[in-house]
Structure 1
Amino acid sequence: MVEEVPKSDEQKPVDLNKHRPVGSDGEEDEQLEEGEIVGGDVETLSSSSSSRPGTALTQHPLEHSWTFWFDSPAAKTKQVAWGSSLRPIYTFSTVEEFWSLYNNIPRPSKLATGTDFHCFKNKIKPKWEDPVCANGGKWTMTFTKSKSDIFWLYTLLAMLGEQFDHGDDICGAVVNVRGRQEKISLWTKNAANESAQLSLGKQWKEFLDHNENIGFMFHEDAKKHARNARNKYSL
């Protein structure tokens, strides 16, 4: 684990937990763990402050900048084209900015049914049509209602902290909140690279200690066959 992102060509993981926010007494704020909402919501986060969160603290840069995207069910009903209701919330590039944002965003269990909440590398839109995503696919895990909170956090920590051997192939992750279940998907950019996808899927399951089977679907298949699309890889 490192204090800051190294400048060498070798990519090393960053321990985001090491730089969790601390309270005024210098102790780690345990109240921020386990998905508690400190304040604010997704709708007001982007306009709640004119300054970047965490700027008063020593900054520990991430390997990449990342953007949170929000697609609300209310906005979807008013739109014709898929994805037109999707909008970016905030872009962050340090460990401190991530925790400042994460601790003020509702967990999946608190989001309205029909919500899609994304975290993607900056400048990559969470859409099949994005040039980076066009030839990609996704691994998906399914959870019972209100049970995905901690798995969403662990997915973010592994992804932002560069824990994956093939992290360069990752575009981002999304949690889909539905009536009876919640899904977390890990999007990648080169679906045809079977060895890389299998490596990503195996490591993701290990990081989350997930024992259920998961499947990988090509975006191209999902577009062509919709509900009849089948997984190409499984673990």
Structure 2
Amino acid sequence: MGLEENLKSMNINEEENKNPNAKDEEDEELEEGEIAGEEDDDTMSLKKGVVEQPHPLEHSWTFWFDNPQAKSKQSTWGSSMRPIYTFSTIEQFWSLYNNIHHPSKLAVGADFHCFKHKIEPKWEDPVCANGGKWTVTYQKGKSDNSWLYTLLALIGEQFEYSDEICGAVVSVRGKQERIALWTKNASDETAQTSIGKQWKELLDYSETIGFIFHEDAKKLDRGAKNRYSV
């Protein structure tokens, strides 16, 4: 399901609720001899049934949170990370998104992830082990819109190589916020370059972004160099 379809489908309820007196107006316009309620009730029930149908996503996704306060008490990286909620429909996504803190409201040191269900946002996860990540950087408090656009692109399967996507994480630090897009097969340069270019275009991000292999990051930490750039 495309991003535009996602957005349109989420506007259904809003459109249906714009004019609560619509049925009264229709009743007033009934032709002489027409019985109000018979066909109209059936029609309204059908419409109501269509509106209430959930809009399933191609994959289920899980939000994870790494609490900065818990991090300092843990000896092993990632041990403070907890799954928050798994969603599988557009309605569930919006319900969650509208009731959770956006990056600008998260505490410094927090990491908030959205990954395909059953993929843990860790280098050690079998699906992530041979992968890498693209990263974009924003000034403190400026990543909210880009985080939302990234999430919609993920759950809407917007990328040409969407099967390569593991998930995304937004990291809040003292002076900046970073959004990283994790992928499966770092050595597939064609797929990774395509994802990087599409993501930049989606975010309207003008600066050069780089792709780091997880393997390099594990060995070299902050000394890891970009393998690809777009």
| TM-score interval, smaller chain | 0.7 to 0.9
Q: Percent of counterpart pairs with the same letter?
A: 66
CA distance in 2, matches of 1:100, 1:121: 18
Q: Which of 108, 112, 125 is the matching residue for 2:107? A: 112
- Is contact 1:14–1:62 with CA below 8 Å preserved after alignment? no
Alignment of 1:183-194 (within 5 A): 183-194=178-189
Correspondence for 1:9: none
Change (3 A) 1:196 1:25: closer
Q: Aligned partner of 2:7: which letter?
A: N
User: Does the Cα contact within 8 Å between 1:114 and 1:178 map onto a contact in 2?
Assistant: yes
* Deviations 1:99-145 (CA, angstroms, capped at 9, x unpaired): 00000011000000000000000000000000000000000000000
* 1:53-68 paired onto structure 2 within 5 Å: 57-68=52-63
- What secondary structure, in the 3-state scheme, does the structure 1 residue paired with 2:182 have? strand
- Map residues 26-45 of structure 1 onto 2, 5 A cutoff: 26-27=17-18
Are 2:2 and 1:16 aligned? no
Unaligned runs of 5+ in 1: 6-11, 28-55
Question: TM-score with structure 2 length normalisation?
Answer: 0.82
Rounded to whole Å, the distance in 1 between the matches of 2:3 and 2:15 is: 28
TM-score, normalised by the number of residues in structure 1: 0.80
Matching residue of 1:39: none
Q: Give yes or no for the alignment of 1:139 onto 2:134.
A: yes
Residue 67 of structure 2: aligned partner: 72
Post-superposition offset of 1:26: 1.5
Query: Retained in 1: the 8 A contact 2:3–2:152?
Result: no
CA contact (8 A) 1:113 1:179 kept: yes
Question: Aligned partners of 2:153, 2:91: CA distance in 1, in Å?
Answer: 16
Letter in 1 for 2:204: D
**How many residues in Structure 1 have an aligned counterpart in Structure 2?**
197
Structure whose CA Rg is larger = 2
The separation in 2 between residues aligned to 1:125 and 1:102, in whole angstroms, is 20
1:37-62, CA deviations, whole angstroms, 9 ceiling, x for partnerless residues?
xxxxxxxxxxxxxxxxxxx9420000
What are the residue-to-residue correspondences of 1:61-210 with 2, within 5 Å? 61-210=56-205
Distance 2:5 2:171 in 1: 26
Cα RMSD of the aligned pairs, angstroms, is: 1.7
Once residues 15 and 80 of structure 2 are traced to their aligned partners in structure 1, the CA distance between those partners, rounded to angstroms, is 39
Structure-2 separation of matches of 1:91 and 1:198: 29
CA contact (8 A) 1:14 1:162 kept: no
1: CA distance between counterparts of 2:15 and 2:208?
44
Partner secondary structure for residue 142 of structure 2: coil
Does the aligned pair in 2 maintain the 1:57–1:96 contact within 8 Å?
no
- Offset of residue 162 of structure 1: 0.6
In 2 relative to 1, CA 24–204 (structure 1 residues): closer, same or farther, beyond 3 Å?
A: closer
Q: Return the offset for 1:13.
A: 5.9
Do 2:131 and 2:214's aligned partners in 1 also have CA atoms closer than 8 Å?
yes
Counterpart contact for 2:164–2:185, Cα < 8 Å: yes
Q: What CA distance in whole angstroms lies between the structure 2 residues aligned with 1:198 and 1:230?
A: 16
Contact persistence 1:170–1:188 (CA under 8 A): yes
